[in-house]
């Protein structure tokens, strides 16, 4: 079995121990609002907008108190400084292929957003219940799959760079608690294969971004309120010397526990791993939803949703040693059943949660991360 080199030399990075310290979207108090009026946690504020272009192209419109405008513009004006964009390999029914995602990244960058690219390494949704290898890669041996992951990642990142939208942060896999590219990288049975796939992906990010600065690499799991599973997962990665810069967590209360559970795990991760942490997916419904394991104390109402977002952002900002670095909503502007968890109502009008970061502003352009000169030997 061929294993990609596991050596990842760390260098001192001035200004930022990790890029999120210097990211666009770190809220700053606007001169138009007093400190008592503005809720401006010193973290990156972002949203996954992967459905937004498709939703608007289908005829949906979004508006706030200033009237109807493109959704990205509304988010930017309400304190959001980051977008997260998912990418499938060859999607059959979903829009998130390479050309669609690059086009969305261009729109976002033109408005000054930082960009987080979410590789799913699948043709469809990848999460702990579904993480199937792309159809075209299904017959590859493990060694061939490692080569394919490296080449695909390298070439994809290079195309983003050529298009002028090299991501600031790249997550290599989506909610990969149960592994990725099943069956080859499925956990807990295939840790060696899984680690090899991650190493290939990390090397692909590095090579594809040359000669520019390497994007920060995020590892994303779905255990925002579970320190035990978090420890199980990251202990294996660290033992295998898998390189990463940022820990990403999903936090949905009906799956990942109470706000106290989230706070406890944020503190655990900060103390144990000493790396920046982003809650890269979170949401709460503004009207009754069909989940049965919801945990309060938030109402399923417009006001309850706003209270939830404020509480999660505060929990991240309170992470010990300032290692809580961001919160991303999933997804704010949609026209399907997910509208219950969006930041706009059934008619596309902004809900109170969209105003949580009003009175804050973000830099006019996305501040790139500090140089990443980590290299493989």
> Cα separation of 369 and 102, whole Å?
20
Number of domains in the chain: 1
User: Is 366 domain-assigned?
Assistant: no
How long, in residues, is the chain? 377
Q: Count the neighbouring beta carbons within 10 Å of the beta carbon of residue 97.
A: 14
Burial label for 188, CB within 10 Å (0-12, 13-18, 19+), is exposed
Q: Which of 255, 153, 271 is nearest to 214 (CA)?
A: 153
Look at residue 301 and tell me if it is in a domain. yes
Task: Kindly report the CATH number assigned to the domain that includes residue 118.
Answer: 3.20.20.80
Residue 5 lies in a domain: no
pLDDT of residue 296: 75
Query: What range defines the domain where residue 268 resides?
Result: 19-361
Please report whether residue 89 resides in a domain: yes
Active-site choice (175, 300, 307, 331): 175
* Best CA proximity match to 281, nearest among 11, 50, 8: 50
Q: Residue 336: its pLDDT value, please?
A: 76
Q: Give residue 26's pLDDT.
A: 52
Asked whether residue 251 is assigned to any structural domain, the reply reads: yes
Whole-number pLDDT of residue 190: 98
Residue 1 lies in a domain: no
Mean pLDDT, contiguous 10-residue spans, the chain (377 residues): 34 34 47 54 96 96 97 96 98 97 98 97 97 98 99 99 98 98 98 98 98 97 98 97 97 95 99 98 92 78 98 98 97 86 96 91 44 44
Against a cut of 0.95, is the pTM above it?
no
Model confidence over 64-91: pLDDT tens digits? Answer: 999 999 999 999 999 999 999 999 999 9
Report if residue 2 sits inside a domain: no
Distance of CA 167 to the CA centre of its chain: 12
Q: Which of the residues 56, 77, 231, 281 is marked catalytic? A: 281
Active-site residue flag, 175: yes
Q: Answer yes or no: is 49 within a domain.
A: yes
């Amino acid at each position: 079995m061929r294993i990609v080199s596991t050596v990842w030399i760390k260098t001192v990075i001035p200004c930022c121990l990790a890029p999120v310290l210097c990211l666009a979207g770190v809220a700053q108090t606007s001169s138009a609002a007093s400190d008592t009026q503005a809720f401006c946690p010193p973290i990156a504020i972002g949203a996954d907008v992967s459905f937004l272009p498709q939703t608007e192209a289908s005829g949906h419109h979004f508006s706030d108190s200033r009237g109807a405008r493109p959704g990205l513009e509304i988010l930017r004006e309400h304190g959001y400084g980051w977008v997260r964009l998912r990418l499938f390999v060859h999607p059959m029914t979903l829009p998130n292929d390479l050309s669609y995602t690059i086009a969305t990244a261009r729109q976002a960058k033109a408005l000054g957003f930082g960009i987080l690219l979410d590789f799913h390494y699948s043709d469809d949704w990848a999460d702990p219940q579904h993480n199937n290898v792309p159809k075209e890669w299904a017959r590859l041996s493990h060694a061939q799959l490692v080569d394919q992951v490296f080449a695909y990642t390298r070439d994809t990142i290079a195309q983003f760079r050529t298009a002028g939208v090299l991501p600031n942060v790249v997550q290599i896999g989506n909610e990969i608690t149960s592994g990725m590219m099943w069956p080859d990288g499925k956990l807990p049975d295939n840790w060696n294969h899984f680690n090899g796939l991650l190493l290939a992906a990390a090397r692909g990010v590095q090579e594809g971004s040359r000669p520019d600065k390497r994007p920060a690499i995020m590892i994303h799991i779905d255990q925002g309120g579970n320190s035990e599973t978090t420890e199980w997962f990251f202990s294996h990665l660290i033992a295998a010397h898998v390189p990463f810069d940022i820990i990403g967590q999903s936090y949905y209360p009906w799956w990942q526990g109470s706000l106290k559970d989230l706070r406890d795990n944020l503190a655990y991760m900060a103390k144990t791993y000493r790396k920046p942490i982003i809650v890269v997916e979170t949401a709460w419904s503004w009207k009754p939803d069909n989940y049965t394991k919801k945990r309060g104390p938030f109402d399923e109402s417009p006001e309850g949703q706003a209270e939830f977002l404020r509480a999660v952002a505060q929990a991240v900002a309170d992470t010990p040693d300032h290692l809580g670095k961001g919160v991303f909503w999933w997804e704010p502007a949609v026209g399907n059943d997910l509208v219950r968890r969006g930041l706009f109502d059934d008619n596309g009008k902004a809900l109170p949660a969209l105003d949580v970061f009003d009175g804050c502003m973000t830099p006019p352009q996305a501040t790139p991360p500090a140089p990443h000169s980590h290299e493989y030997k």
